[in-house]
Structure 1
Amino acid sequence: MKSAAAHPSSMPSVANGSEAHAYETGVRRTIITLTVIVAAMLELIDTTIVNVAINHISGNLGASIEDVSWVVTSYAIANVIVIPLSGFLGNLLGRRAYFIGSILLFTLASLLCGLADNIWTLVFFRFLQGIGGGALLPTSQAILYETFRPEERGAATGIFSMGLVLGPTIGPLLGGYLVDYFSWEWCFFVNIPVGLLAAWSAFTFIREPKVRHKVQKIDWTGIGLLAAGIGSLQFILERGQSKDWFDTPYITWFTLIALTSLVAFVWWELHTEHPAVDLSVLSRSKNLAIAAVLTFIVGYGLYGSLFVFPVFVQRLLGFTAVLTGLVLFPSAMLTGAISLPLGIALQKGASAKLMMAFGMAAFMVFSWELGQQTLQSGAENFFAVLLLRGLALGFIFIPVTMLAVTGLHGRDIGQATGLNNMVRQLGGSFGIAITNTYVAQRVAAHRVELAGHMSAYDSAALERLEAIKQAAGARAALSPADAENLANRALEGTVMAQSYHLAYMDAFMLIAVLFLCSLPLLLFIREKKGDQGHAPEAH
């Protein structure tokens, strides 16, 4: 491997914005790598671990399902506000101190969530947990990239991508196990020993960068506009479907707040001298701009499909939460297993464009195949399809994550990782919100279509209805009128089950079409031959 001296990008230079930096080696580098991966996975696991405990929390705290859903919403809102500010806050507080403080806040909030005795206390502490957790993903990524030399970032990206995929997949499996065998509080208590260990390891082994970009002035206006805009947008995406979107006045008001605040935020950050979020990095790095679009699409597909699949198999096929997690787990393990080899291949000269083309095509096929499943499908029917998902995510995440930081140095890395993680989070939120709305619309459409066959002139429907009536009358000795009512309800249940099944299949195929339409974006990536790590340049 060539030394750092052979690469101008790793030497101190005013022209290219890089800085003198001591890269880690040996055991210390291994421990730092494990520390940041564990911290990132804590954040990602907690985005999904609580989802399977909603019903238990509702019963235990005496709250409605709608109120309990704020446990998920508050965490997501806090996450999406903090993520793009992580680069700024790391410069303000020092990246090492900010990272350790975020882990400790996340851990303390986890303890307080588990001890909460009413729903709104839990929601408040969950918001605090989201503030701490939101910093972990981009800051972990920035620390990892500063631990490895620029020519080794392919391997670093491969290692980091393991956590990106394993976290959201482990969450439901771990949550289902803890809820089934312990109690919902353990979905939060499980973070405490891991968080304390990660904080100790970060305090002991992670160093503050030699050159720290001190914040000369705090951009309170930018922070306020970002919090109002992104927070309102996340709230709309989380709550819009359950509130019939713009039929609810406050959803309309929050939409206006989001649009106004975000437009003002972009204008302000591009014109102020000391921006909290340096959006100009997007113009300095065309790589990052294209990576942001692709990352949004990947977030849409990943979280959209991960939202529909558990609902489909649990509601219609009768899977338990644990079985659902077990079915998804081999897919995530495959992604983890291929991440490091793909990262190494990328830094040795493999084509990032071809990797992403294969990955997006494979994810398209995976989504399409899920859209062909039936109500008779079992766990064995999903094994090969989900392995294809795991393969696809490996080939997508590695190059697109590396693309976002190619050619960047110093504080630009912190800004890039924050922006890239924010668009993935927003992509996931859009994916869940749009998929949820689309499913609801398709259920209604399919129900009308299927109900059209239930008439006095449809012989198949009449035969089915008569068979149900006779079976009901024979088993329960019901009167003809009661048997007919029971048969009608049973037939209506069958129609609704079929309507949901067809709607879920439509949702999977919509994701497949999105990935197909996104493939031309790869044509805008132009790879520069001869660079270490085969770093792509976008034009």
Structure 2
Amino acid sequence: MKWFYVGIVSLGVFMVVLGTTSVNVAMPRMIAPLHTDLFGIEWVSISYLISTAITMLTFNTISGMHGFKKVYISGLIFYTLGSVLAGQSHSLFEMILFRSAQGIGEGLIIPSGQAMIQMSFSKEERGRAMGIYALGMSFAPGLGPTIGGYLVEYISWRAIFYINVPISILLLALGVSFLPSYHVKSQKTMFNIWSFLALSCFSVSSIVLLSKGEKWGWFSNIKSIYFLTISVLSFLIFLLLETIFENKLVGIEIFKNLEFTLAVSVFVLVQGLTFFQTVYTIPIYFERIRDLSTFQTGLHIFPYAIGIGVFSLIGGKLADKINPAILIFSSEAILMITLFFFLSNIDYYTPKHDITLYMLLVGIGMGLFFAPILKIAFNSVKPELMGLSTAIYGYMRLIGASLGTSIATNIITSYSAKNFDYINDSRTFNSVGFRLFEEKFDSKILAKAILYKFQMLISEAYGVTEVFRFSFYAVSFSVIITIILFFYIESRKSKNI
């Protein structure tokens, strides 16, 4: 029966993560119906991230009071209502409001689902269970552009929200009927509202800064400095409050668990600065540079999702038999080879099917990563800290995603401009080649316009390769932490013998 619980929980996680990537695909189509512009439509995504992050900060207290099952069911209700109402939105304000409701749903679904799986299985079985859970978590981002692209192109962008409703209703019925009522009383009896407000302020200002910083020109703009100041001050206030109050919102006891702390660090580096950067960057390459439709882009990314799906299950099974850190090494090795030798060398002319093959390799690497890192992170966590640990893990996933996409945007923009100027300085309109090109179009202005457009595409392609080069360095750094993690796990095993 416990494997049935995993299925219910994993389907819920799959639904909310799929919804996130599908909505990102549809956002350009929402601009006109919602009477907004490119600057306004970004808040459809930002509001969702903010509400999810803030909700996760309350999860430990809420789950301690009501139990994981009730929290999971409440998350499904929020997400279902948010989906229905978002599909009916006719203004940007309505969309932001209802996307925030969806974000509250995700903020309750993901940590409660993770906690229920951890509580249902022994340490010896958690690898396979987390492999299935990771399948839902990691398969969805690869599948989202395909499903989202199809719905947007052939039905309506509103269908992206409505498709969640029948799945949510099914999950509500199954969850109420079958999920066990896990109720682990947390060590905290009262909710620390002041620490919550300080950390919420840090979360909001950080996510807004990471999401809008590139557009504002980073620290050359007073808005970026303003939000950075708020972020730093609120975090310092949070740390001060956590030392003053006896009843802490987070507390440092969870971070004394070295396995958990190291695993979360590796997770942020690999998932945030590799996984999310790749999922974010490849659609830009296919759609903006290679001029593919959203649906065609999704089809080229689909093998990546297949790789994740198959190897999440393999990784989960192996994580119960060998040191999970070995699987993480294997994952990092595949990612490093793919990023350094293949993806960081693509350009405008690279065959599309070659890139699809490279993405399959990334999918295989990420598939081997999720189950073992989840097993390491939660295997040594005490039951009374399970709610807190899953909330922290989910919170860091959001911060990592925001950081990864922000860095990717900044790299693409800055290196595209740099390469454009370099190409601009290297060519001349007085060359024989350009004169022949001009004669073909019988217009110097048209020839220049076409050449400038092509120059921009070439420059952006080089910008994309720099993102993958940065991801390679992030994975390389994660290897160092994984080595420490490996020897720490082995030393604990030898002490227990």
What are the within-5 Å matches in structure 2 for residues 278-289 of structure 1?
278-283=251-256, 285-289=257-261
| Aligned twin of 1:297 | 269
| Aligned twin of 1:441 | 414
| Cα distance in 2 for residues equivalent to 1:211 and 1:422 | 20
| Cα distance in 1 for residues equivalent to 2:438 and 2:425 | 21
Contact 1:270/1:280 (<8 A) preserved: no
Using the TM superposition, give the Cα deviation of residue 235 of structure 1 relative to its aligned residue in structure 2, in angstroms.
1.0
Q: 1:306 to 1:335 in 2, by over 3 A?
A: same
Write the letter of the residue equivalent to 1:394: G
Aligned with residue 209 of structure 1, among 176, 182, 185: 182
Write the letter of the residue equivalent to 2:444: E
Moved more, 104-113 or 400-409: 400-409
Q: Secondary structure at the match of 1:113?
A: helix
Aligned with residue 138 of structure 1, among 111, 123, 142: 111
| Cα distance in 1 for residues equivalent to 2:255 and 2:276 | 25
| Cα distance in 1 for residues equivalent to 2:255 and 2:471 | 27
| Cα distance in 2 for residues equivalent to 1:324 and 1:237 | 26
% identical equivalent positions: 23
| Aligned twin of 1:19 | none
Using the TM superposition, give the Cα deviation of residue 288 of structure 1 relative to its aligned residue in structure 2, in angstroms.
0.9
Contact 2:65/2:185 (<8 A) preserved: no
| Cα distance in 1 for residues equivalent to 2:171 and 2:101 | 18
| Cα distance in 2 for residues equivalent to 1:104 and 1:536 | 46
| Aligned twin of 1:497 | 457
Using the TM superposition, give the Cα deviation of residue 379 of structure 1 relative to its aligned residue in structure 2, in angstroms.
3.2
Once the two structures are superposed, residues 141-185 of structure 1 have per-residue CA deviations (whole angstroms, 9 ceiling, x without a partner) of 101111112221111111111112112122221111111111111
Q: Secondary structure at the match of 2:190?
A: coil
Contact 1:270/1:279 (<8 A) preserved: no
| Aligned twin of 2:339 | 367
Aligned with residue 94 of structure 1, among 67, 88, 92: 67
Contact 2:76/2:172 (<8 A) preserved: yes
| Aligned twin of 1:451 | 424
What are the within-5 Å matches in structure 2 for residues 348-427 of structure 1?
348=321, 350-368=322-340, 369-427=342-400
What are the within-5 Å matches in structure 2 for residues 302-321 of structure 1?
302-321=275-294
Contact 2:347/2:458 (<8 A) preserved: no
Q: 1:85 to 1:361 in 2, by over 3 A?
A: farther
Write the letter of the residue equivalent to 1:233: S
**Higher radius of gyration, 1 or 2:** 1
| Cα distance in 2 for residues equivalent to 1:529 and 1:308 | 37
Aligned with residue 45 of structure 1, among 5, 15, 18: 18
Once the two structures are superposed, residues 408-439 of structure 1 have per-residue CA deviations (whole angstroms, 9 ceiling, x without a partner) of 13231221121122212211211110111111
| Aligned twin of 1:509 | 469
| Cα distance in 2 for residues equivalent to 1:417 and 1:236 | 25
Aligned with residue 275 of structure 1, among 248, 272, 293: 248
| Cα distance in 2 for residues equivalent to 1:377 and 1:443 | 18
Moved more, 98-107 or 492-501: 492-501
Write the letter of the residue equivalent to 1:241: E
Moved more, 272-281 or 445-454: 272-281
Q: Secondary structure at the match of 1:50?
A: helix
| Cα distance in 2 for residues equivalent to 1:240 and 1:195 | 35
Contact 2:86/2:95 (<8 A) preserved: yes
1:488 aligns with 2:448: yes
Using the TM superposition, give the Cα deviation of residue 83 of structure 1 relative to its aligned residue in structure 2, in angstroms.
2.4
Using the TM superposition, give the Cα deviation of residue 529 of structure 1 relative to its aligned residue in structure 2, in angstroms.
5.2
Using the TM superposition, give the Cα deviation of residue 55 of structure 1 relative to its aligned residue in structure 2, in angstroms.
1.9
1:465 aligns with 2:431: no
Moved more, 376-385 or 173-182: 376-385
Using the TM superposition, give the Cα deviation of residue 35 of structure 1 relative to its aligned residue in structure 2, in angstroms.
1.0
Once the two structures are superposed, residues 478-537 of structure 1 have per-residue CA deviations (whole angstroms, 9 ceiling, x without a partner) of xxxxx1111221221122111111111121112112212332112211254598xx8999
Q: 1:465 to 1:529 in 2, by over 3 A?
A: closer
| Aligned twin of 1:521 | 481
| Cα distance in 2 for residues equivalent to 1:201 and 1:441 | 49
Write the letter of the residue equivalent to 1:487: A
Once the two structures are superposed, residues 374-429 of structure 1 have per-residue CA deviations (whole angstroms, 9 ceiling, x without a partner) of 32233321232112111111222122111111211323122112112221221121
Moved more, 434-443 or 258-267: 258-267
| Aligned twin of 2:130 | 157
| Aligned twin of 1:79 | 52
Aligned with residue 204 of structure 2, among 210, 221, 231: 231
Using the TM superposition, give the Cα deviation of residue 208 of structure 1 relative to its aligned residue in structure 2, in angstroms.
1.9
| Cα distance in 2 for residues equivalent to 1:529 and 1:514 | 25
Contact 1:92/1:215 (<8 A) preserved: no
Contact 1:92/1:214 (<8 A) preserved: no
Write the letter of the residue equivalent to 1:464: G
Write the letter of the residue equivalent to 1:495: Q
Once the two structures are superposed, residues 310-356 of structure 1 have per-residue CA deviations (whole angstroms, 9 ceiling, x without a partner) of 001111112221121122222222222222332222212x1222211
Write the letter of the residue equivalent to 2:436: A
Using the TM superposition, give the Cα deviation of residue 88 of structure 1 relative to its aligned residue in structure 2, in angstroms.
2.3
| Cα distance in 2 for residues equivalent to 1:280 and 1:213 | 13
Using the TM superposition, give the Cα deviation of residue 270 of structure 1 relative to its aligned residue in structure 2, in angstroms.
4.7
Using the TM superposition, give the Cα deviation of residue 135 of structure 1 relative to its aligned residue in structure 2, in angstroms.
1.7
Structural RMSD (CA): 2.1
Contact 2:273/2:474 (<8 A) preserved: no
Once the two structures are superposed, residues 258-312 of structure 1 have per-residue CA deviations (whole angstroms, 9 ceiling, x without a partner) of 11111222332355332233442111x1011101111110122111111111001
Write the letter of the residue equivalent to 1:286: L
Q: 1:470 to 1:529 in 2, by over 3 A?
A: closer
Contact 2:131/2:315 (<8 A) preserved: yes
| Cα distance in 2 for residues equivalent to 1:536 and 1:257 | 46
| Cα distance in 1 for residues equivalent to 2:465 and 2:189 | 53
Q: Secondary structure at the match of 1:151?
A: coil
Write the letter of the residue equivalent to 1:325: G
| Cα distance in 1 for residues equivalent to 2:87 and 2:127 | 39
Moved more, 380-389 or 266-275: 266-275
| Cα distance in 2 for residues equivalent to 1:364 and 1:291 | 19
Once the two structures are superposed, residues 82-119 of structure 1 have per-residue CA deviations (whole angstroms, 9 ceiling, x without a partner) of 22432222113322211111110110011110011111
Q: Secondary structure at the match of 1:429?
A: helix
Structure 1: 5+ residue stretches without partners? 1-27, 474-482
| Cα distance in 1 for residues equivalent to 2:172 and 2:189 | 28
Q: 1:206 to 1:215 in 2, by over 3 A?
A: farther
